[in-house]
Amino acid sequence: MIAIRNDDLLPSDPLAQWLSRTFLRNRWDFIYAPVPDPNQPEQKELEWQTEYLKPKPEWKTESRYPMKSRVLYYRWADPSEIVGVRFDHTTEYGLLDIDVESQYHPKQNPEAIAKIQIALETIGITRTVLVRSSWSDGLHLYFPLNGAVNTFNLAVGVKFCLQTQGFEVKAGQLEIFPNDKSYGVVTKILYNGHRLPLQPDTGSWLLDDDLQAISNQLGDLFRVWDIAAIGQDMTSLSSALEIARQNRLKKPRRRLNNVDAWRQDLEIVIAEGWTGAHQTNHLLKQIGCYGVVFKELSGDALIKYIMETATTAPGYGQWCAHQHQIELRARSWAKAVEKYYWPLGTHAKTRPANDIVPFNQRRSKTAQEEIEAAISILEEGDRLPETITARAQAISELAGTSLGTLYRHKGLWHPAYQEAEKRCVIPDAAVDTAPIEPLPAAYRKQPDPLYNRELQTKEGVMKCKPAPREASFKKESKESFPRGVRGEQLSFPQVERPILRLVPPVPRPNSQSSLTHSISGLSSGIDAEQDEVIQGIQAQVRGLNWTLAEINEFIASRFEGKRRYQLSNDELLLLLYYLQTQHDNPNR
């Protein structure tokens, strides 16, 4: 039984407590209606006669406040009112509602109730309690459970059980409580409500197996109810409900549109053709859709089908204003419909989640495609003009774009751009595809190193002496480097360093003696390789006959304002390269 909340006090009457524990799992959104007078039947006018029907209650839902356990019993016992409840997330019972005019009512089919009970036994519901619901002679077939189950699973399981065994589940024939309601995303969707059994003066009675009324007292109902709950096969029922829930998830969804009706609608629209102006785009889309989905066409075959179907359709010659560009329109629509439709019986093409193109970019791409299609059509018919003005007008008219849009994409059609592309085409170099033979073992030997010298590192990092020139270079660079000068070292632009074989020059008594002396004066503390580079620089300076100011200006312009003594080894080698190129420059 369900546990009553602390704020909901139970009544003192044991029958009232049983009523609340059994039916008041959901205290909200209960239903109520005044009791109809059975002596005043409702008149229903038919075509051939007037039929007098027993009146039906006018139900209302109370959602402003919850039902209290103590109040429920008093409203149940009120002979002037009918009260009902709705299901919560879990439940310990269910019921089937069979109207008096249903094909499963004993008046129409005396064996129907027994067949329904046999069907329910297949999922573990082996005991039922039959109650006449009201004076209308409708029946409620209750199935009490020995424990709570998921409400929605019970609704799906019972429905699946009855439908697979040939019963028609719908209102007025065979209605299931709880019902398999939809899931509300925006608003909450409630389970259908049902009236409570055996309410006074409502015509509700407990029936036996022979459909005879035996009692209208709650005590008799509860004794039968508890016996039925204990007799249920809850293990089989739980397994059946789980299977039914999984089958419902795997059940294919109902198609929104009937395929035959869709095909017939498209055929009707295409057969009518043009009946007025401004219908070309719509009709070409319908023709393309029909060609992709029902004829499984694509590419050039789809373009041909759209053109042939459109040009032979009624009203084409009278109303279509795009006859001069019908091929271009057919190409555009063929490409568009292939993105959004696929042949019947196949699966849609997956589109990446990040495949979102901005509107302006998409419109520009569409314009380029229309221009390219127009050029292709003109070139195929040898109708592409040579002059710029005539070519622009022909493409603009055929593509349906403005001249402004056309000139924003001059690279697609302008003769000047096409000539430039032709001039810039470089033929592929010939490639020797002969297999490469492996080198002899003598050539695969590792070469000897060019130098074999002592490694010099910074002082303080390893236990060694600093390089001879390091201390003085740190001091000079700290005082002389301007702010903002880049610190990376430039590397020599050639693949290999040139091997300089320079003979020490003979001093000459001229104006360059002071310059060479200033350059060679810093050569102390450097290795033989650096000495060769410096001697090469000296030789190049003597050959150029530059003054000291000229050489300083030359070095500063090439090395971001540095002086000669601020240059690194790689930069000295690069300076030597620059000086060598000056001999070959006639405008130096």
DSSP three-state, residue 234: helix
Q: What is the pLDDT of residue 512?
A: 45
233 shares its domain with 136: yes
pLDDT in tens, 552-567: 888 888 888 888 778 8
244 shares its domain with 264: no
Residue at 43: amino acid letter: Q
Q: How confident is the prediction for the chain on average, in pLDDT?
A: 78
64 shares its domain with 213: yes
Query: Within a domain: residue 478?
Result: no
Query: Within a domain: residue 467?
Result: no
pLDDT in tens, 136-163: 899 999 999 999 999 999 999 999 999 9
152 shares its domain with 227: yes
Share of the chain above pLDDT 90, in %: 38
And the tokens for 244?
């039914």
Query: Within a domain: residue 432?
Result: no
End position of a domain, from candidates 218, 250, 282? 250
pLDDT band for position 383 (cuts 50, 70, 90): confident
- Least confidently predicted of 4-8, 75-79, 134-138, 159-163: 4-8
Instruction: Please state the pTM of the whole predicted model.
Output: 0.45
32 shares its domain with 181: yes
Query: Within a domain: residue 267?
Result: yes
Helix locations, 359-409, DSSP H: 359-380, 388-399, 403-408
pLDDT in tens, 230-270: 999 999 999 999 999 888 876 555 554 578 888 889 999 99
Q: What is the pLDDT of residue 579?
A: 83
| Residue with the larger pLDDT of the pair 348 and 551 | 551
21 shares its domain with 91: yes
Q: What is the pLDDT of residue 350?
A: 59
pLDDT in tens, 418-441: 765 555 555 555 545 555 555 555
Most confidently predicted of 72-76, 380-384, 494-498, 506-510: 72-76
Query: Within a domain: residue 140?
Result: yes
244 shares its domain with 162: yes
Query: Within a domain: residue 436?
Result: no
303 shares its domain with 166: no
107 shares its domain with 219: yes
- Least confidently predicted of 7-11, 171-175, 334-338, 552-556: 7-11
The dihedrals phi and psi of 96, each to the nearest 5 degrees, come to -115, 135
pLDDT band for position 97 (cuts 50, 70, 90): very high
Query: Within a domain: residue 27?
Result: yes
pLDDT band for position 126 (cuts 50, 70, 90): very high
Range of the domain at 26: 14-250
177 shares its domain with 224: yes
In Å, how far are 56, 386, 408, 421 from 418, measured between CA atoms?
Answer: 85, 12, 15, 5
End position of a domain, from candidates 209, 225, 250? 250
Structural domain count of the chain: 4
Question: Is the C-alpha dihedral spanning 498, 503, 509, 515 positive or negative?
Answer: positive
169 shares its domain with 273: no
Residue 429: partners with Cβ closer than 8 Å, 6 or more residues away: none
- Least confidently predicted of 219-223, 383-387, 572-576: 572-576
Query: Within a domain: residue 307?
Result: yes
Checking if the pLDDT of 130 tops 90, the result is yes
Q: Cα(first)–Cα(last) distance of the chain, in Å?
A: 108
205 shares its domain with 282: no
pLDDT in tens, 489-544: 444 444 444 433 334 444 444 444 444 444 444 444 456 667 778 888 888 888 88
CA 105 to mean position of chain CA atoms: 51
End position of a domain, from candidates 221, 250, 279? 250
